[in-house]
Amino acid sequence: MKKEPKKKKPWATKAAMEQVYELKLWGDNKSVFYSGTGSHEPEIVNPYVEAVTSFLTSFENPLVVCDLGCGDFNIGKKLVKHTKKYFAIDIVSDLIEHNKSTFKSTNLEFHCLDIAVADLPSGDCALVRQVLQHLSNTEVQNIINKLAVFKYVILTEHLPKGDFIPNIDIISGQGIRLKKHSGIDLIASPFNLKVKNEKQLVSFVLDDGKGVIVTTLYTVF
């Protein structure tokens, strides 16, 4: 009798992300929580903040933003003032509680949610910064289904330099597809996200030969 494939337990991704912070697998700058160099290195962070700020401030009426995978909020804290409402979401409950006590603004709310499973706050623009790269294709697809309700999606992914095979599946966790010479491409199979427009906002080539961090603006509807 053929065995059924093992199903991923719903708490497995949460446990993996909690371990990242507990064991400081993304590095340690002596903070209680640290989301890695991609959220702290000025040469990576500053161009991103500048590009997203330019986009957000281009509207006469400020947007409602959902930051899906807000991490330690070193980047989000620079963007809140340019929004009507800023929902900052992460799967790690202790991280969210720390952020709640550290960052205060009248238009800022933190929520502990598994974005692949839970209903998301409604908004105009979703920020998904180096999150999908850590998730299995099943979880990525679940998130894509939720992104369809936003008018804009600003996606940041760590990709190989040059040509690569998109969307090779992985087990959710601290690692990414780079070791398989792959990366997330929402337009490619199996996701085939339908968008009205896509525009690259910023890219940063890592000088250690470990690929490029690319931020893309998608107009969804």
pLDDT, position 34 = 83
Question: In this structure, are residues 84 and 63 in contact, taking their beta carbons and an 8 Å threshold?
Answer: yes
Residue for token pair 């064991």 = 23
pLDDT above 70: residue 201:
yes
Q: What is the CATH number of domain 12-219?
A: 3.40.50.150
What is the phi/psi pair of residue 29, to 5°?
A: -110, 25
Q: pTM for the whole thing?
A: 0.91
- R_g over Cα of the chain: 17
Distance CA 127, CA 113 (A): 15
Span 24-66, pLDDT tens digits: 777 776 677 888 888 899 999 999 999 999 999 999 999 999 9
Work out the mean pLDDT of the chain and round it to a whole number: 91
Q: Where are the domains of the chain?
A: 12-219
E-strand spans in the chain? Answer: 64-68, 85-90, 108-112, 125-129, 152-159, 165-166, 182-183, 197-205, 212-219
Mean pLDDT of 185-210: 92
Span 82-133, pLDDT tens digits: 999 999 999 999 999 999 999 999 999 999 999 999 999 999 999 999 999 9
pLDDT above 50: residue 4:
no
pLDDT, position 8 = 46
Q: Give, in order, the Cα–Cα distances in Å from 153 to each of 1, 81, 107, 124, 164.
A: 45, 19, 20, 9, 23
